[in-house]
A = this chain, B = another copy of it.
C-alpha cells in the first residue's frame, strides 16, 4: 500500500495556517460534542521513526482542550507492564466515554518490534496475533469507541533528513523521551512488516489512514481533516444508534443441552474426609504457588454461581492455602459510576494478575450474559455479542500463558431456600441475605436458561468451565481446590 502514496504533496505556510485555523475551531467544537454524546475516541499515530509524529501530535493537540485527552506511547511501557497479557496496558489506558486517548506508539509498535526484532531477545509477551488485534479493535468499536489509525509514511531520504535535524537541535538527548528498540530505523526490514500489518488490520470498523509525511504541514492537515470528518460521522451515527438501541433481536436457537440438570448434586464428603483432603490440598497449593512464581506464570480463578451457592466459602478455603503476597481477591457488584464510564471488560482487565501471581474474581465478566441480560442492562445485541468477546479475551490471556479456571457453583432450588432461611435466622449471617436475593430467586428459570447457554457457549479448551456440585459444601470446596491444583500442574509441569 505504501508505494501508492504520493510523497511529493506539499502545503505552503499560509495555506497551512488557513486550514489549521479552519479545522482547529471545528476540532474543539467536535471534541465538546463527543464529550456530551459520551463518544470515546482513540487516535493512533503510527509510522516511521523520524516521521515527526511528536510534532504532528503537538500541533493537533493545540486545537483541542487538553483536559479531555491523554497521550500515551507503547514505547514507554515498563518491563513489568510488558509481562502482562498483551492488551492489559491498553485497557488500563482506555479513555472513558467522552474522552480521547492519543497514541504516539500503539499496540502495532509492539507487534512490529516483535516481527522485526530477534525474537529470542524481545520475549514472547510482546507478541500477539493479528486476529487478536482485530478482535480487540472490534470490541472497542462495537462498544461505540471511535478508532482512528494513522500511518505517517516518509521516504527513506526524508527519514534520514528528519533524524539529522533532530540530532542537531537536541543532540542525542531527544531520543531519551522516545525510547525505541532500534537505534537506526532499518527501513527495508520494517517495510515488509508494515505491509503485512495493513493487509491484516485494515478493517471496515477500523481502517488505516495512510498519510503522506514528507511534508510535515501536509501530513498534519491531512490528519486533522480526517479526525474532523470521522468525528462528524461518529456523532451522526451515534444519534441513529441511540434511536435503534432497544430493538429486540429474534432469539437465536441453540441446541441447548440442559447442562445444569445433569449435575449430580448428591455428591458429598463427610467432615473427616473433607479435613483430610483439605490438609493435603493446602500443602500442595502452597508449593504450586511457588512454582507458579518461579515460572512467572499467572493464574485467574473466576467464581460464578447461585446466590448462597458457596462462592464465599470456596474462595476462603482457596485463599487460606495461598501466600497472601501472591494473590488478590477482586469482588464485583453492580458497576459503580466510574466503571459505568467504560467498556464492560475494563474493570476486569485492570485487575489482571502480574507475572507469577494469582487473581481471584468473585463474580466476573460473565455478569454481561447473566444479570445484564436478564435485567436488560445490556441490549440483546450487546449480550449476544458478549459470548464471542469473552472467548476472544480469554484466548488472549491463555495465549499469553495465564492459566484460566472458571467455576460455576451449582445448588438446587431447595438447597438455596434452606440456606436463605438459615441466613435469615442466624444473627451472624443475616447481613449476607437481602431483598435482592429473594427477587433473583423468583427469576430462577430465566437465570437457569442464561447459565446453560453461557456454559455451552464459553467452555473452551483454553478456559474451561468447571461446574461444581455444591449441595455439599465440603465436596464443593475440595473440588475447587483439586481443579485449581490440576490446572497449575498441567500448565507448568
State whether A324 and B104 are in contact (beta carbons under 8 Å apart), knowing that A66-B315, A176-B293, A431-B32 are contacts in the complex. Answer: yes
Binary contact track A304-331/B, C-beta < 8 Å → 1, others 0: 0000000010011001100111101101
Report the minimal beta-carbon distance from A331 to chain B, rounded to whole angstroms: 4
Chain B residues near A431 (CB-CB < 8 A): 32
A65–B311 CA distance with the chains assembled, in angstroms: 12
A80 lies within 8 A of chain B by Cβ: yes
**Interface size (A, Cβ < 8 Å)?**
50
Chain B residues near A294 (CB-CB < 8 A): 173, 176
Of the candidates B57, B170, B286, B289, the one whose C-beta lies within 8 Å of that of A287 is B170
Within 8 A of B (CB), among A332-362: 336-338, 362
Which residue from chain B places its CB closest to the CB of A363 in the assembled complex? Answer: B67
A428 lies within 8 A of chain B by Cβ: yes
Q: Are A54 and B329 in contact (CB under 8 A)?
A: no
Q: Are A331 and B67 in contact (CB under 8 A)?
A: yes
- Best-buried of A174, A337, A431 by chain B (most CB within 10 Å): A431
Binary contact track A162-192/B, C-beta < 8 Å → 1, others 0: 0000000010011011100000000000000
Q: Are B25 and A428 in contact (CB under 8 A)?
A: yes
Interface pick from A69-77, A233-241, A404-412: A69-77
State whether A177 and B104 are in contact (beta carbons under 8 Å apart), knowing that A66-B316, A170-B287, A336-B338 are contacts in the complex. Answer: no
State whether A177 and B325 are in contact (beta carbons under 8 Å apart), knowing that A58-B320, A428-B25 are contacts in the complex. Answer: yes
Binary contact track A87-111/B, C-beta < 8 Å → 1, others 0: 0000000000000001010000000
A76–B357 CA distance with the chains assembled, in angstroms: 12
A61 lies within 8 A of chain B by Cβ: yes
Chain B residues near A78 (CB-CB < 8 A): 78, 80
A325–B325 CA distance with the chains assembled, in angstroms: 33
Report the minimal beta-carbon distance from A478 to chain B, rounded to whole angstroms: 17
Q: Are B67 and A290 in contact (CB under 8 A)?
A: no
Identical chains in the assembly: 2
Q: Are A325 and B62 in contact (CB under 8 A)?
A: no
A134 lies within 8 A of chain B by Cβ: no
Q: Are B29 and A428 in contact (CB under 8 A)?
A: yes
Which residue from chain B places its CB closest to the CB of A75 in the assembled complex? Answer: B325
A25–B76 CA distance with the chains assembled, in angstroms: 48
Chain B residues near A323 (CB-CB < 8 A): 54, 58, 177
Of the candidates B178, B293, B316, the one whose C-beta lies within 8 Å of that of A325 is B178
State whether A324 and B62 are in contact (beta carbons under 8 Å apart), knowing that A32-B431, A338-B338 are contacts in the complex. Answer: no
Report the minimal beta-carbon distance from A128 to chain B, rounded to whole angstroms: 23
A325–B61 CA distance with the chains assembled, in angstroms: 12
Which residue from chain B places its CB closest to the CB of A360 in the assembled complex? Answer: B66
A54–B323 CA distance with the chains assembled, in angstroms: 7
Chain B residues near A315 (CB-CB < 8 A): 66
State whether A70 and B328 are in contact (beta carbons under 8 Å apart), knowing that A312-B65, A336-B337 are contacts in the complex. Answer: yes
Chain B residues near A428 (CB-CB < 8 A): 25, 28-29
A76–B329 CA distance with the chains assembled, in angstroms: 18
Report the minimal beta-carbon distance from A121 to chain B, rounded to whole angstroms: 21
Q: Are A174 and B71 in contact (CB under 8 A)?
A: no
Chain B residues near A176 (CB-CB < 8 A): 290, 293-294
Which residue from chain B places its CB closest to the CB of A316 in the assembled complex? Answer: B66
A315–B67 CA distance with the chains assembled, in angstroms: 10
Q: Are A290 and B173 in contact (CB under 8 A)?
A: yes
Within 8 A of B (CB), among A7-44: 25, 28-29, 32
* 3 A-B pairs with least C-beta separation: A67-B331, A71-B324, A66-B329
A sample of 12 more A-B contacts (CB under 8 A), given A25-B428, A67-B312, is A28-B428, A61-B319, A61-B320, A62-B319, A67-B362, A71-B328, A104-B325, A170-B290, A173-B293, A176-B293, A177-B326, A336-B338
Q: Can you list 18 A-B contacts (CB < 8 A)?
A: A29-B428, A58-B324, A61-B324, A62-B319, A62-B320, A65-B312, A66-B315, A67-B312, A71-B325, A78-B78, A170-B290, A173-B290, A176-B293, A177-B290, A177-B293, A177-B323, A177-B326, A338-B338
